[in-house]
Amino acid sequence: MNKEVQVQDLGLKDYKETWDFQESLFQKTVDLKIKNRREETRIDTPNHFLFVEHPHVYTLGKSGDQNNLLVDEAELAKKGAKFYKTNRGGDITYHGPGQIVGYPILDLDNFFTDIHKYLRFLEEMVILTLAEYGLKAERSKGETGVWLDVGTPFARKICAMGVRASRWVTMHGFALNVNSDLGYFDLMIPCGIKGKAVTSLNVELGKREIDTTEVKQKLLKHFSSLFEAKAVIEKTEV
């Protein structure tokens, strides 16, 4: 099993362009798995972890309700935002500047074949990272992602998640609000969950600017520990 993970930071990158790049990495891994089984070969499948920041964009999961987007595309255009229907799980999500988006493209045959465990590990990675900033983050029963003050009237979501998997190869991932403009969340019902607030790390820490490079390093540290993976930082070429 190959537990080496190639890590790339794509910087600020268009959502559709990044999605296409994800798809290419995903498909190469799936194709290699099919070839290995057909020819009974033993070529290691690769694992990838992409960090990226997107311009303003709203994405809808394959089982989501477009009514959870509260404005039309003309209004989105005025806000400088785009909208895409995607092939991930989950409902509607916003991505934008100041948010850390992570896309692990892993062959879970290299780690464990359990999607539920995979999602819980991604949540735990975020929970452990936020703990380093003094925040007690938690899971909310029946709601994928990471929250603060669960079970209180002040419950608020700080990290959304939505993944896709085929032949135990994953894509899409998580979006952690770090220095996000929370006003953009007012244009939707986040993840289709009414009556729940959204927050970001900088708001929780007194509205000071947070070093996103530092946050990524902490996320990667906890990811590597949880998945028992070796992270290899790659030069980005997309």
**What letter represents residue 234's amino acid?**
E
pLDDT, tens digit, 9 for 90 and up, residues 81-125: 999 999 898 888 999 999 999 999 999 999 999 999 999 999 999
Query: Which one of the listed residues 191, 201, 215, 229 is annotated catalytic?
Result: 191
Residue 89, pLDDT score? 83
Q: pTM of the full predicted structure?
A: 0.94
Return the beta strands (E) in 56-211 as ranges: 57-60, 82-85, 92-95, 99-105, 137-140, 143-148, 156-166, 169-177, 197-198
User: Which has the minimum average pLDDT: 25-34, 44-53, 56-65?
Assistant: 56-65
Q: Which of 193, 214, 194, 189 is nearest to 202 (CA)?
A: 214
How many angstroms separate the CA atoms of 216 and 129, rounded? 9
Separation CA 82–CA 227 (nearest Å) = 34
Confidence at residue 190, expressed as pLDDT on a 0 to 100 scale: 67
Residue 159 annotated to the active site: no
pLDDT of residue 192: 60
Question: Which residue ranges form the domains of the chain, and what is each CATH number?
Answer: 4-233 (3.30.930.10)
Higher pLDDT, 134 or 143: 134
Average pLDDT on 130-155 reads 94
Amino acid residing at 143: E
